[in-house]
C-alpha cells in the first residue's frame, strides 16, 4: 500500500507542474481570438465562419453566439438575418432563468461554466441594433415596438438597485435612441418624454454619465419637441437648466441621424488576488489591490452557509476576478460633410467607460463570490483529506496479536503515517483540480464598438452624398432624402 501511495504522490506533483499551463489558457478572448482577428480585419464572412465552432455554440455561450452573429450580419448589411439572431438573443434574455445547476457550477467550479446572461449595457445594444435594422428595412412599426421594449428594459434595470444614483440604473443612450425612434414614427409626445428622460439621467449624474457629457443635440431635441407639443413651461425650465437660448428653428422636411461606430469594446481579462484570512472567524480577508495597496474585504460567510469555525480553518485563498483591457482608448476626430456643409459629431455612448465602471461597481460582489467559491473548495479539500485518511485507517491490517508491544507500536505508527500520507495525496489532488479550475468569467460581447457618436443633419430631395472623414481616411455614403427622420449607422476604422 505504501508504494501505491508514494506513486500517487509523485503523480500528483507531476500534475501540479502543469497547473501554470492550465491557468494560462483561461480567457474567453483567447478561445475566440481567430474570430475577433477577422472582425478587426473587417472580414465579416470569415468571422461568421469562425463563429461556427463548438465552444461558442455550447449552451452556456448561446447568447454570445446570437449577439455576435447578429452583429456580423448587420455589418454585412443583411438586416433580416441580423435581426433573426438578435431576436433569438432577445428571447434568450427575456426567458432565461438562473437554474440550480448554474448556481452549483459557479460556486463549485467557476462562473465561466454557468450560462452567460449578458452585461446590462449589452442588452441595450441589442435594442439599438434591432431598431436600426428595422429602420433600414422600412419597418417603422417594428422599430416602435423596440422603442417600447427599451422602456421595459429600463424598468428592469432600475429595479436592480436601491442606490440608483450611484449605479448603472438607466441607459441614457438607449433613452435618447428611443426618442429618435418615436420621432421617426411621428410620435412627438413620446419623443419628448424619451428625450426628457435621457436628459434627466445626465442631469442627475451632474451632466456626465459613464464617460459621456450630455450631448448638445439632445438638449436641442428636448427643447424642440417640448415647444412642438406646446409644453412652454417645460421648455423654459430646461432652457434655464441648460443655460441655453435656442431659437425656434424650422424642422427640415428630411433629416438623418447618422451614428458612427468606432473601435472595439474592451476585452475581459483575469486578475488573481491572494487573500489572507485573519483567522478570527469573523470573515475579514486582506489582500493587496492592483495599485499595491493593502485592502480588506468583509466576507459575510452566513450568506453562503459557511460556519465561523469552518471559515477559521481557511487561512489563505487565491481568487480570480475579471477586469477589462481597453483596446481602443479614445475616439478619433471625425467630421461629416453633407451637400457641401460640415457637421461635428458628438459622443452618444462610451462602452469603454460603461464596461470598466460597471465592473468596478460590482468588484466587491465578484470578490466575495470568488472567496465563497474558494473557501468551499478548501473545505471540500480538507474533508476529502480527513475522509481518505479515515478510510485508509479502516483498510489497514492490525498488528499481529502475538507481536511484541514494540512491534505493535511500530506497526501502528506506520499505519498512521500511511493513512496520513493517503489523506495528503487525496487533498493534494483535490487542490490541483481546485487551483486549475479557479477562473474568472471573462466572456463579453467584444465586437461591440468602443464608442458610438452621432450627428443630426438635414437632407435634400433626391440623392445626398455624405462624406465621413476620420484619421486621414474618407468614407462616402449615399442616401435618398425622404420626408421625415431616418436612422443610419456607419463603422469607421
Q: Which of 251, 281, 298 represents a domain boundary (last residue)? A: 251
| Residue owning grid cell 435621457 | 198
Per DSSP bridges, beta strands 334-338 and 316-325 are unpaired
- In this predicted model, what pLDDT tens digit does every residue of 295-344 receive, in sequence order? 888 777 777 777 777 777 777 778 888 999 999 999 999 999 998 899 99
Based on the fold, state whether residues 357 and 294 are members of the same structural domain.
Answer: yes
Whether residue 79 lies inside any domain: the answer is no
Helix or strand holding residue 142 (H, E)? helix 140-158
Whether residue 39 lies inside any domain: the answer is no
Q: Which of 228, 251, 274 represents a domain boundary (last residue)? A: 251
Q: How many angstroms separate the Cα of 372 from the Cα of each of 6, 140, 257, 432?
A: 33, 49, 48, 18
Based on the fold, state whether residues 194 and 262 are members of the same structural domain.
Answer: no
In sequence order, which residues have a C-beta less than 8 Å from that of residue 316 and are 6 or more positions away? 274, 275, 276, 277
Query: The domain that contains 110 carries what CATH number?
Result: 1.25.40.10
Based on the fold, state whether residues 427 and 462 are members of the same structural domain.
Answer: yes
What would the grid cell of residue 255 be? 433629416
Sheet holding 254-262, edge to edge: 346-350, 451-458, 254-262, 484-492
Helix or strand holding residue 485 (H, E)? strand 484-492
Based on the fold, state whether residues 413 and 391 are members of the same structural domain.
Answer: yes
Based on the fold, state whether residues 112 and 149 are members of the same structural domain.
Answer: yes
| Residue owning grid cell 449589452 | 122
Sheet holding 316-325, edge to edge: 294-298, 284-288, 267-277, 316-325
Q: Which stretches of 85-236 are assigned E, i.e. beta strand?
A: 208-209, 212-213
Nearest to 433 by CA among 471, 479, 381: 381
- In this predicted model, what pLDDT tens digit does every residue of 64-82 receive, in sequence order? 999 999 999 999 999 999 9
Distance CA 67, CA 55 (A): 15
Based on the fold, state whether residues 265 and 247 are members of the same structural domain.
Answer: no
Nearest to 452 by CA among 165, 260, 229: 260
Based on the fold, state whether residues 341 and 368 are members of the same structural domain.
Answer: yes
Whether residue 204 lies inside any domain: the answer is yes
Whether residue 227 lies inside any domain: the answer is yes
Q: Is 225 helix (H, G, I), strand (E, B) or coil?
A: helix
Distance CA 366, CA 363 (A): 5
Nearest to 112 by CA among 461, 413, 373, 309: 373
**Number of domains the chain is built from:** 2
Q: Domain range for residue 468?
A: 1-31+252-493
How far the first Cα of the chain sits from its last, in Å, is 66
Distance CA 459, CA 465 (A): 9
What would the grid cell of residue 250 be? 424650422
What would the grid cell of residue 459 be? 437632407
State phi, psi for 376 to the nearest 5 degrees.
-60, -45
Whether residue 87 lies inside any domain: the answer is no
Q: Is 438 helix (H, G, I), strand (E, B) or coil?
A: coil
Tens of each residue's pLDDT in the chain, 493 residues: 444 444 444 444 444 444 443 444 458 988 999 999 999 999 999 999 999 999 999 999 999 999 999 999 999 999 999 999 999 999 999 888 766 566 666 666 688 888 999 999 999 999 999 999 999 999 999 999 999 999 999 998 888 877 777 789 999 999 999 999 999 999 999 999 999 999 999 999 999 999 999 999 999 999 999 999 999 999 999 999 999 877 777 788 999 999 999 999 999 999 888 888 766 555 678 877 777 778 888 777 777 777 777 777 777 778 888 999 999 999 999 999 998 899 999 999 999 999 999 999 988 888 888 877 777 776 666 666 666 656 766 666 776 767 676 766 776 677 666 666 665 565 555 555 555 667 889 999 999 999 999 999 999 999 999 999 998 889 999 999 999 999 999 999 7
Whether residue 451 lies inside any domain: the answer is yes
What would the grid cell of residue 25 be? 489558457
Q: What is the pLDDT of residue 112?
A: 85
| Residue owning grid cell 449577439 | 67
* Sign of the CA dihedral running 42, 43, 49, 54: negative
Based on the fold, state whether residues 137 and 195 are members of the same structural domain.
Answer: yes
Per DSSP bridges, beta strands 254-262 and 484-492 are parallel
| Residue owning grid cell 468614407 | 475
Is the distance from CB of 70 to CB of 127 less than 8 angstroms? no
Based on the fold, state whether residues 201 and 274 are members of the same structural domain.
Answer: no
Based on the fold, state whether residues 426 and 322 are members of the same structural domain.
Answer: yes
Distance CA 194, CA 264 (A): 28
Based on the fold, state whether residues 156 and 288 are members of the same structural domain.
Answer: no
Distance CA 79, CA 82 (A): 5
Whether residue 109 lies inside any domain: the answer is yes
Based on the fold, state whether residues 170 and 241 are members of the same structural domain.
Answer: yes
Q: Which of 251, 270, 300 represents a domain boundary (last residue)? A: 251
Whether residue 37 lies inside any domain: the answer is no
Nearest to 41 by CA among 83, 85, 66, 72: 72
For residue 478, the cross-strand partners are 465
Is the distance from CB of 333 to CB of 284 less than 8 angstroms? no
Amino acid at each position: 500500500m505504501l508504494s501505491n501511495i508514494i506513486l500517487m504522490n509523485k503523480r500528483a506533483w507531476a500534475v501540479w507542474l502543469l497547473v501554470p499551463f492550465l491557468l494560462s489558457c483561461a480567457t474567453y478572448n483567447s478561445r475566440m481570438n481567430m474570430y475577433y482577428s477577422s472582425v478587426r480585419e473587417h472580414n465579416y464572412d470569415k468571422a461568421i465562419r469562425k463563429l461556427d465552432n463548438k465552444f461558442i455554440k455550447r449552451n452556456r455561450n448561446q447568447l454570445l453566439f446570437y449577439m455576435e452573429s447578429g452583429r456580423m450580419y448587420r455589418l454585412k448589411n443583411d438586416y433580416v438575418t441580423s435581426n433573426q439572431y438578435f431576436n433569438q438573443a432577445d428571447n434568450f434574455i427575456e426567458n432565461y432563468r438562473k437554474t440550480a445547476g448554474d448556481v452549483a457550477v459557479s460556486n463549485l467550479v467557476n462562473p465561466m461554466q454557468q450560462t452567460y446572461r449578458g452585461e446590462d449595457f449589452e442588452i441595450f445594444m441589442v435594442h439599438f441594433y434591432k431598431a436600426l435594422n428595422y429602420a433600414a428595412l422600412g419597418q417603422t412599426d417594428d422599430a416602435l415596438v423596440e422603442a417600447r421594449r427599451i422602456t421595459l428594459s429600463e424598468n428592469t434595470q432600475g429595479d436592480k438597485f436601491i442606490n440608483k444614483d450611484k449605479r448603472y440604473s438607466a441607459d441614457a443612450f438607449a433613452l435618447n435612441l428611443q426618442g429618435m425612434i418615436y420621432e421617426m414614427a411621428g410620435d412627438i409626445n413620446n419623443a419628448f418624454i424619451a428625450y426628457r428622460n435621457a436628459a434627466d439621467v445626465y442631469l442627475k449624474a451632474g451632466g456626465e454619465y459613464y464617460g459621456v457629457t450630455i450631448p448638445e443635440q439632445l438638449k436641442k431635441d428636448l427643447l424642440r419637441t417640448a415647444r412642438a407639443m406646446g409644453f412652454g413651461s417645460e421648455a423654459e425650465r430646461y432652457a434655464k437648466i441648460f443655460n441655453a437660448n435656442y431659437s425656434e428653428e424650422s424642422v427640415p422636411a428630411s433629416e438623418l441621424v447618422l451614428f458612427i461606430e468606432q473601435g472595439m469594446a474592451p476585452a475581459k481579462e483575469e486578475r488573481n488576488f491572494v487573500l489572507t484570512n485573519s483567522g478570527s472567524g469573523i470573515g475579514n480577508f486582506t489582500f493587496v489591490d492592483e495599485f499595491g495597496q493593502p485592502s480588506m474585504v468583509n466576507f459575510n460567510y452566513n450568506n453562503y452557509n459557511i460556519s465561523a469555525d469552518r471559515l477559521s480553518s481557511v487561512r489563505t485563498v487565491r481568487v480570480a476576478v475579471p477586469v477589462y483591457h481597453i483596446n481602443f482608448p479614445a475616439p478619433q476626430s471625425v467630421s461629416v460633410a453633407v451637400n457641401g456643409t460640415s457637421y461635428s459629431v458628438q459622443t452618444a455612448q462610451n462602452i469603454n467607460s460603461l464596461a470598466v465602471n460597471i465592473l468596478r461597481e460590482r468588484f466587491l460582489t465578484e470578490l466575495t463570490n470568488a472567496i465563497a467559491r474558494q473557501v468551499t473548495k478548501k473545505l471540500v479539500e480538507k474533508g476529502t483529506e480527513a475522509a481518505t485518511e479515515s478510510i485508509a485507517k479502516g483498510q489497514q491490517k492490525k498488528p499481529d496479536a502475538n507481536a511484541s508491544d514494540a512491534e505493535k507500536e511500530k506497526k501502528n505508527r506506520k499505519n498512521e503515517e500511511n493513512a496520513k500520507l493517503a489523506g495528503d495525496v487525496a487533498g493534494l489532488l483535490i487542490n490541483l483540480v481546485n487551483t486549475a479550475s479557479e477562473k474568472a468569467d471573462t466572456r463579453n460581447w467584444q465586437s461591440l464598438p468602443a464608442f458610438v457618436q452621432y450627428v443630426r443633419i438635414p437632407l435634400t430631395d433626391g440623392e445626398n452624398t455624405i462624406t465621413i472623414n476620420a484619421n486621414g481616411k474618407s468614407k462616402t455614403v449615399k442616401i435618398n432624402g425622404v420626408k421625415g427622420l431616418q436612422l443610419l449607422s456607419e463603422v469607421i476604422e
